[in-house]
Chain A
Amino acid sequence: MDVATIFGLCGSALVGLGLYGLITNPQPLRKILSFNLLGGGVFMLFGVVARRGAAAGLGGDPVPQALVITGIVVAFSATAIAVALLLRLYKETGNISLSPNDPEKADTHQGKP
Chain B
Amino acid sequence: MTSAAALSQTATAGGYLLVLSIALPALGILLALALGGRHVERVAGVFLPAGLAIAAAIVAETWRGGTPLFYAVGGWMPPLGIALRADGLSVVMMTISALVICAVGVFARADFFTPSRSVEARAPFVFWILLLAIYGALNIVFVAGDLFTLYVALELVSFAAVPLVCLDGRPETLQAALRYLLFALVGSVLYLVGAVLLYGAYGTLDLVLLSQQVHAERVTFVAAALMTVGLLAKTALFPLHLWLPPAHAGAPAAGSAVLSALVVKASFFIIVRLWFGVMPGIPGFAAAQLLAALGAGAIVFGSILALRQERLKLLIAYSTLAQIGYLFLMFALAFNAGTARLDSGGALTGGMLQAMSHATAKAAMFMSAGLIYAALGHDRVTGLAGIGRALPLTIVAFALSGVALMGVPPSGAYLAKELLLQAAAGTGQWWWGVVIQMGGVLTSSYVLLVLCHALMSPDAPVTLHARVPRIQEAAALALAVCSLLLALFPWERYLPVPRGTPPTPFDLDALLKTIWPILAGGVLAILMGRWGDRPATMSFGSAVAAVIAPARCAALAFGGLIERLDGVLRQWTAAGLSLLALVVIFAAAMLAGR
Find B186's partner among A22, A64, A74, A100 (CB 8 Å cutoff): A22
What is the predominant secondary structure among interface residues of chain B facing chain A?
A: helix
Expressed in whole angstroms, the Cα–Cα distance for A32 and B199 within the complex equals 27
Q: Is A6 an interface residue (CB 8 A)?
A: no
B189 within 8 A of A: yes
**Do A86 and B178 have beta carbons less than 8 Å apart?**
yes
Q: How many residues of A contact B (CB 8 A)?
A: 41
**Chain B residues with CB under 8 A of A98:** 175, 178-179, 182, 572
B189 / chain A contacts, CB cutoff of 8 Å? 35, 38-39, 42
Chain A residue nearest in CB terms to B182: A31
User: What residues of B have a CB within 8 angstroms of the CB of A100 in the complex?
Assistant: 172, 175-176, 246
Which residues from 65 to 113 on chain A have a C-beta closer than 8 Å to any C-beta of chain B?
Answer: 67, 70-71, 74, 77-78, 81-82, 85-86, 88-89, 92-93, 97-100
Partner of B175, one of A45, A63, A74, A89: A89
- A10 at interface, CB cutoff 8 A: no
Q: Is the CB of A71 within 8 A of B175?
A: no
Minimum Cβ distance to chain A for residue B553 (Å): 26
Contact of A85 among B178, B573, B580 (CB under 8 A): B178
Let me know if B556 is at the binding interface, CB within 8 A. no
B182 is contacted by which of A22, A55, A88, A99 (Cβ under 8 Å)? A22
B172: chain A residues within 8 A (beta carbon):
100
How close is B195's CB to chain A, nearest CB, in angstroms? 9
Determine if B204 is an interface residue (Cβ-Cβ < 8 Å).
Answer: yes
Nearest opposing residue in chain B for A87, CB measure: B174
Nearest to A93 among chain B residues (CB) is: B171
What residues of B have a CB within 8 angstroms of the CB of A9 in the complex? none
Contact with B along A18-52 (1 / 0, CB 8 A): 01001110101001100100110010011011001
| Set of chain B residues within 8 Å of A24, measured between Cβ atoms | 573, 576
Alpha-carbon gap, A55 to B155, bound state (A) = 26
B148 within 8 A of A: yes
Residue B159 is within 8 A (CB to CB) of chain A in the complex: yes
Known: A28-B178, A54-B203. A42 touches B169 (CB 8 A): no
Nearest CB of A to B36, in Å: 20
Give the residue name and chain of the A residue nearest to B250 (CB).
Answer: A100
Residues of chain B contacted by A74 (CB below 8 angstroms): 151-152, 155
B352 at the interface (CB under 8 A from A): no
Q: Among the listed A19, A71, A82, which residue makes an inter-chain contact with B181, where contact means beta carbons less than 8 Å apart?
A: A82
A89 touches B203 (CB 8 A): no
B44 within 8 A of A: no
B200 within 8 A of A: yes
A46 touches B571 (CB 8 A): no
Residues of chain B from 531 to 552 with CB closer than 8 A to chain A in the complex: none
A35 to B192, CA, bound (A): 13
Q: Contact mask B477-521 → A, CB, 8 Å, 1/0?
A: 000000000000000000000000000000000000000000000
Contacts of A97 in B (CB 8 A): 175
Q: Shortest Cβ distance from A99 into chain B, in angstroms?
A: 7
CA distance A99 to B171 in the complex (A): 12
Smallest Cβ-Cβ distance to B195: which chain A residue? A67
Let me know if A28 and B196 touch, CB within 8 A.
no
Cβ-based interface call for B166 (8 A): yes
| A52 to chain B: closest residue by CB | B200
B131 interface hit (Cβ, 8 Å): no
At the interface, yes or no: B129 with Cβ under 8 Å from chain A?
A: no
Nearest Cβ distance between residue B82 and chain A, in whole angstroms? 11
Q: Which residues of B contact A93 (CB under 8 A)?
A: 171
Residue of B nearest to A67 (CB): B148
B151, B162, B176, B576: the one contacting A81 at CB < 8 Å is B162
B577 contacts A by Cβ under 8 Å = yes
A85, B181: Cβ atoms closer than 8 Å: yes
Q: Is the CB of A99 within 8 A of B571?
A: yes
Output the nearest chain A residue to B571 by Cβ-Cβ distance: A99
Query: Lowest 7 A-B CB distances belong to which pairs?
Result: A23-B576, A55-B203, A49-B200, A89-B174, A92-B171, A93-B171, A54-B203
Residue pairs across A and B with Cβ atoms less than 8 A apart, 13 shown, are A15-B193, A23-B572, A24-B576, A39-B189, A52-B200, A63-B199, A81-B159, A81-B162, A82-B182, A85-B181, A98-B178, A98-B182, A98-B572
10 further contact pairs, Cβ within 8 A, besides A55-B79, A82-B185, A98-B572:
A23-B572, A23-B577, A39-B189, A49-B196, A54-B199, A67-B199, A78-B181, A85-B166, A88-B174, A99-B572
Spell out B's residues near A (CB within 8 Å).
79, 148, 151-152, 155, 159, 162-163, 166, 169-172, 174-179, 181-182, 185-186, 189, 192-193, 196, 199-204, 246, 571-573, 576-577, 579-580
